Amino acid sequence: MRLVLVGTSHHRAPVELRERVALEREEAQALAARLAEGDREAVCLSTCNRTELYLAAEDGERAEQDAVAVLAELEPEVEPALYRLRDQAAALHLFRVAAGLDSLVPGEGEILGQVRVAHELGTTGPLLDRVFRQALHTGRKVRAQTAIGESPASVSSAAAALAEQVFGDLAGRSILLVGAGKVSEQAARNLLSRGARVSFVANRTLDRAEELASRLGAVALPLDRIEDELAHADVVVASTSAAGFVLDAPAVARTLGGRRSRRLLLIDLAVPRDLDPAIHDLDGCYLYDIDDLQAIVAETLSGRRQEAERAESLVASEADKFHEWHAALDVVPAIASLRARAEEIREAELRKAEGLLGRLDESQRRAVESIPAQIVNKLLHLPTVRMKEAAAAADGVLYAEAVRHLFGLGEEER
Amino acid sequence: MAELLFWPALLLYGEAAVGYLGDARRPGAAGRAATWGVRLGWLAQTALLGVQVARDDGFPWGTWAGSLNLFVWLVVSAYLIWGCRRSYRLLGLAVMPLASVLLLVARAGGGTGVGGASRYSSLFLVLHVGLVLAAFAGFTLAAALSGLFLWQERRLKRRAVTILRRPVPALATLDALALRTVAWSLPALTVGLAVGLVRLVVDGDQVDALVLATLVTWLVWASYLWLRWVVGWTGRRAAYIALAGFALVIVVRLALPATHFA
């Protein structure tokens, strides 16, 4: 059984090409089912950054042609941007994908879930089931044993991570959004996903504030009422198009008395800035602007790249394990036949000796019967191990043929 | 036997201190090795104390060096409650070098051997020395948590670009843990001190400088709790008080051989 991969990703295809071969879940499921004719197996992994078809088939050449044809059917121009990998290289690629090493942002965590869903929706058998399970295991292992996925990769996730650095668990923490644009909303959603709640949305235009507040379950405010509600907020996210400061240091200082030393994190995503930089000097106040956050993201990304080197070695070792398992498949039938033949001989010899064995009591009989079984096991142990080793070194088929020939395996059927 | 247990304990604590230093430079395997060093070293020291208890005439912490041995064990025990978590490894960098040095000092003073006899009753030693030392161990940990808080707060104020690189507990968590540790430790110090004072009165002894210093220490930590619970102080100001309280703990510990055990 050969493992075949045909696909394209952000490395080879621009977004305008990728979007034409991107598939919804149901489409990916149907495509996998369509490719899995006969005893073939197929999985379609389709995300915004990649569309990949994994097939397991006896005829690897034909499976690859079919996969290329299917993708070309979706978009003829994709063919030059396709990569085609086989066996260990295909497995290594999938393991790297699951570990987030092939992602646009190294170590991003979403891909692991996407690989899991693709596996669930695919038409899998022994080979693809094994390779996808091992890929998911590899992805989890890389995340557990390296810090590749720990640091944020975007400004809004950096803001949320900073909030966690200050408050720990964000459950129940109150956010005051200043500005009702997309940037504010994105940052707010990142904080919401970690358990915080948006309490207020303040905006120059109250209509827009009300619109966003209704979506986030918050209360809308005009800009001039920020100071009134500041005492209740833990995090302030500001992103308006105002020309000057929306909130200055004296205003924040006036609210500190009512906060009973509660910390306040202020995130200023606006250019020009909305929040007075002097706020950062106040006790218990931490103000980060867009430059600060971008510098943090740049640093964490360089950290991710360092961790990626460690992750690569983990992935390579998992790919080696898969290779050993896959190669052993070539010799497994020969090993099974050899053991079956040995078992037949053992049983036949025991039947011949039935007359003698009949005179023994039950425990003596069991002891005598176990002797040939032990001999068979000891005799076949080393050849079994050697055949598996040879399989991993690509000589497996030759060894299997030699064993079949020497022991006359399968000859009685001919 | 005690000798056989002392050296592994010291070496493992030393390994943990070096491991945490390595982890501070590059988080990962060194930190994991350090955590195992703390765990195994703690087991070795626990066994050492067990042997001392079994073979001494009375509890072994009736001398300043013996009490230092117990103090180290209590500090490491308290650290182990959180220290196994990855984000608290940096705390180990403050705790384990101190523990290693103090254990060595305890040995130099004869506090890790066996065969000594105490002139105090076991009950008095448990209540007075045991509780005071447990409280001091708690204060040491609270001070380490406060130190970590100040370090992390300073990084946040300086907007260090590496702020998210290293796993460190959140400011709020460090603040709350320091408070909780002090809230458990102060009652222990109160009872331990009261037992000592009662004995002082019964025996007709005089109050020495160490007792006064310990009372001042109690006052500082009691102020810490009052300022936090009643006045609402948190963060930097509370952390500075914790460090001041810890400075007094050090003074009391250093003065011990020159006063109580003189």
Q: Is A150 close to B171, i.e. CB distance below 8 A?
A: no
- Residues B121-164: pLDDT tens digits? 667 777 888 899 999 999 999 999 999 999 999 999 999 998 88
Cα–Cα distance for residue pair A319/A92, rounded to 1 Å: 5
Do residues A3 and A131 lie in contact, with contact meaning Cβ atoms separated by under 8 Å?
yes
The answer to whether A313 faces chain B, any CB pair under 8 Å, is: no
The chain B residue lying nearest A303, using CA atoms, is B165
| Residues B105, B111, B113: CA angle, nearest 5 degrees | 120
Which tokens hold the place of A372?
A: 């040939």
Of B161, B170, B232, the CB nearest to A166: B170
Q: Cβ of A296 under 8 Å from any chain B Cβ?
A: yes
Whether the link from the prior residue into A272 is cis, omega within 30° of 0, is: yes
Q: How far apart are CA A21 and CA A12, in angstroms?
A: 13
CB spacing of A167 vs B169 below 8 angstroms:
no
Q: How confident is the model at residue A338 (pLDDT cuts 50, 70, 90)?
A: confident
The DSSP output letter for A116 is H
Q: Tell me which residue of A142, A148, A87, A147 sits closest to A313, measured CA to CA.
A: A142
Quick one: pLDDT at residue B59? 63
DSSP A247: B
- What's the average model confidence in pLDDT over A400-407? 80
Q: Point out the least confidently predicted range of A35-39, A203-207, A243-247, B75-79.
A: A35-39
Mean pLDDT of all residues in A227-255: 92
Cα B159 to Cα A254: distance, rounded to the nearest angstrom: 24
Among A31-35, A269-273, A364-368, A407-411, the minimum mean pLDDT is found in: A407-411
Q: What is the pLDDT of residue A147?
A: 80
pLDDT(B87) > 60: yes
User: Closest Cα to residue B118, out of B261, B253, B8?
Assistant: B261
Here the tokens at position A2 are 């050969």
As a whole number of angstroms, the distance between CA B155 and CA B178 comes to 19
Catalytic residue selected from A11, A15, A48, A61: A48
| Residues within 8 A of A (CB atoms), B 158-177 only | 159, 161-165, 167-173
A48 catalytically annotated: yes
Other C-beta atoms lying within 10 Å of the C-beta of residue B145: 27
The answer to whether A288 contacts B159, with C-beta atoms less than 8 Å apart, is yes
- A256 pLDDT band, cuts 50/70/90, is confident
Contacts of A150 in chain B (CB under 8 A): 167
Q: Chain B contact for A174, CB < 8 A?
A: no
Which CATH superfamily, name and number, covers A155-283? NAD(P)-binding Rossmann-like Domain (3.40.50.720)
What mean pLDDT is predicted for residues A2-21? 91
Convert the pLDDT of each residue in A378-403 to its tens digit. Answer: 988 888 888 777 777 667 677 778 87
| pLDDT for residue B57 is more than 80 | no
Q: Is residue B236 within 8 angstroms of chain A, CB to CB?
A: yes
Averaged pLDDT, A303-330 = 86
For residues B210-221, average pLDDT:
92
* Every domain of chain B and the residues it spans: 1-119, 120-262
Q: How far is A146 from chain B (nearest CA, A)?
A: 8
What one-letter code names the amino acid at B237?
R
> d(Cα B240, Cα A68) in Å, to the nearest integer?
68
Residue of A nearest to B238 (CA): A261
Q: Looking at the DSSP assignment, which residues form a beta bridge with residue A43?
A: A54
Please, which pLDDT band fits residue B225 given cuts at 50, 70 and 90?
Answer: very high
Could you tell me the two tokens for B161?
Answer: 């670009």
Chain A residues with beta carbon closer than 8 angstroms to that of B233: 261
Does residue B26 belong to the interface with chain A, where contact is any CB pair within 8 Å? no
Q: Where are the domains of chain A?
A: 2-145, 155-283, 324-413
Contacts of A147 in chain B (CB under 8 A): 27-28, 167
Max mean pLDDT among A295-309, A399-413, B89-103 falls in B89-103
pLDDT mean over B177-205:
92
Q: Which fold is adopted by the domain A2-145?
A: Beta Polymerase; domain 2 (3.30.460)
pLDDT confidence of residue A333: 79
Q: Does A248 touch chain B (CB under 8 A)?
A: no
Residue B182 has which token pair? 């002090």
* A262 touching chain B per CB within 8 A: yes
Among residues A33, A8, A25, A182, which one has the least CA distance to residue A85? Answer: A8
Q: How far apart are CA B136 and CA A245, in angstroms?
A: 49
Q: Enter the CATH code of domain B120-262.
A: 1.20.120
B219 contacts: CB under 8 Å, gap ≥ 6: none
Contacts of A411 (CB under 8 A, 6+ apart): none
Distance CA A335, CA A339 (A): 6
Q: Given pLDDT bands bounded at 50, 70 and 90, which one contains residue A414?
A: very low
Q: Which of B39, B139, B154, B144 is nearest to B93 (CA)?
A: B144
H/E element, A382:
helix A362-392
- With tokens 């209704």, the residue in question is A214
Q: Which H/E stretch holds residue A222? A: strand A219-222
- If phi over 0 gives left and psi between -120 and 50 gives alpha, with beta otherwise, what is residue A237? beta
- The dihedrals phi and psi of B159, each to the nearest 5 degrees, come to 55, 50
